[in-house]
Structure 1
């Protein structure tokens, strides 16, 4: 009897599951209903972080920041948060106070009120946050036109380098963007009227470009050479955005006034784009 082993085709489970949800709201960093924008992210131990890498205060703060980042990318102002928390069984009062300090400090910085949620006890620290924001003029992913320029804020690549150091049991700077992402709220508030499409860089620039390619049925003519580290570094939470070239001078002026570095790296063209990199998660 001949036994034949068939190699299972690897597929993206997250994308497949999301594809099962059929409604008009799916496809952006948040869901827009009326003037409200609803966004949600999970921040899970063993997937997004290890407790040995960050303080509990930093873990809680980052879990808020990565959710706020989605709202900023859609030109929305965060107002309220719902917090879901799985608390490890061995946590004591001091641990819980440290966690709350991270949630509280970050929410106050962005004028967000934590209005409720749910808690359970388990073996790992897992956080789920829903942010409720408002926006009169939200920015979607699917509004890139051929010939428009694409740019990203800040610098990309440092998070991936720091993540490699953490895997090697080496220390990283306390100011690392892996610990505390830099959000570009002021830049977005001033530049939003000139931006046609935007999303935050959570999974790496190459992943976000592929998503934008699919949403807009476009490809890219790269006008700047980007190395693999720049393309694939995840957890950056910078913004990748498009705009018409007639607004180039205005965008550069806003960049200068808000002290937000930008890199213009491509033009949108007809076609499609697929990257070659693996997912960045643990």
Structure 2
């Protein structure tokens, strides 16, 4: 049993089930970024830690075709952190927020034995993109290339080093593509838990399975923290969608066609 899904199932309301909670035209999203769970301080600078913590949260807004506006930060930090390290952490938050036009409006700080970060992003969405909307026969695709994040995580876990432009620390969001292609996208979400796991979420939301065009290796399909877009669209819009992708310099890979069948996720749970 997936314990994360079990716990989430205890809260039943219409706002749960997407990358963020849609309330009116506002989208509220929140993600945690905890030391020794999501990262080790030996792997990243404090600036990189803050930047990634912000980016994984902004990704939820982008995935719903929402414009992030405000952020609330909760930072639990060791008392051993120096003022220089605190300034570096704050600069990472501020610079990333400024890049996306986000105002940091408050939050909370407490002492802790390690560095734990949670961020709430408040966004506006005129035409929100949700996980529901997939129909039988629609094509399912993702942006970019998958598999690098897990590969780089394994390298770090084995005491190796990665480049500063590595996908594990330097996340590139697809905001331009999502915005310009929104008229063609019928459903969507970001790939945070891995392609196979996130296809499972689309499957549950739409009660559909998938006919894959070719076999996808587990090392690719189970690679989490990719933060590419996973989306469904009508095959009649394929040419138009690929034109938009080309204009946005975004590569697209069609992996499957939706079908009335069961789907089974081949990956282990990431969070428990």
> Does residue 18 in structure 1 map to residue 8 in structure 2?
yes
Which whole-Å CA distance do the structure 2 matches of 1:35 and 1:106 have between them?
24
Question: Shift of residue 279 of structure 1?
Answer: 2.9
The alpha-carbon deviation at position 20 of structure 1 amounts to 0.8
For 1:159 and 1:34, locate their aligned partners in 2 and report how far apart those are by CA, in whole Å.
35
**Cα drift, residue 87 of structure 1:** 1.0
The two structures have a TM-score, normalised by structure 1, of 0.94
Structure 1 CA distance for aligned equivalents of residues 271 and 40 of structure 2: 12
Deviations 1:124-170 (A, max 9, x none): 10001000000111011011000000000000000111011011100
State the match for 1:191 in structure 2. 181
The answer as to 2:59 corresponding to 1:69 is yes
Largest Rg, 1 or 2: 1
In 2, the alpha carbon distance for the partners of 1:224 and 1:103 equals: 40
| 8 A Cα contact 1:159 1:178, kept in partner | yes
- Distance in 1 separating the partners of 2:237 and 2:215: 23
Contact 1:202/1:235 (<8 A) preserved = yes
Unaligned runs of 5+ in 2: none
Which of 214, 227, 231 lines up with 2:217 in the alignment? 227
The 5-angstrom pairing of residues 1-282 of structure 1 reads 11-280=1-270
Give the equivalent residue in structure 2 for 1:8: none
Whole-angstrom distance in 1 between the partners of 2:186 and 2:92: 34
Deviations 1:222-278 (A, max 9, x none): 113322222010010000000000110011111111000110110000012111211
Instruction: Please list the CA deviations of residues 52-94 of structure 1 after superposition, one character each: whole Å capped at 9, or x if unmatched.
Output: 0000000000000000000011010000000011011210100
Distance 1:154 1:281 in 2: 24
Unaligned runs of 5+ in 1: 1-10
Aligned residues: 272
Moved over 4 A (4+): none
Q: Distance in 2 between matches of 1:12 and 1:242?
A: 25
Residues 4 and 271 in structure 2, CA contact (< 8 A), matched pair in contact too: no
Q: Normalized against structure 2, the TM-score is what?
A: 0.98
Supply the RMSD in Å over aligned alpha carbons: 1.1
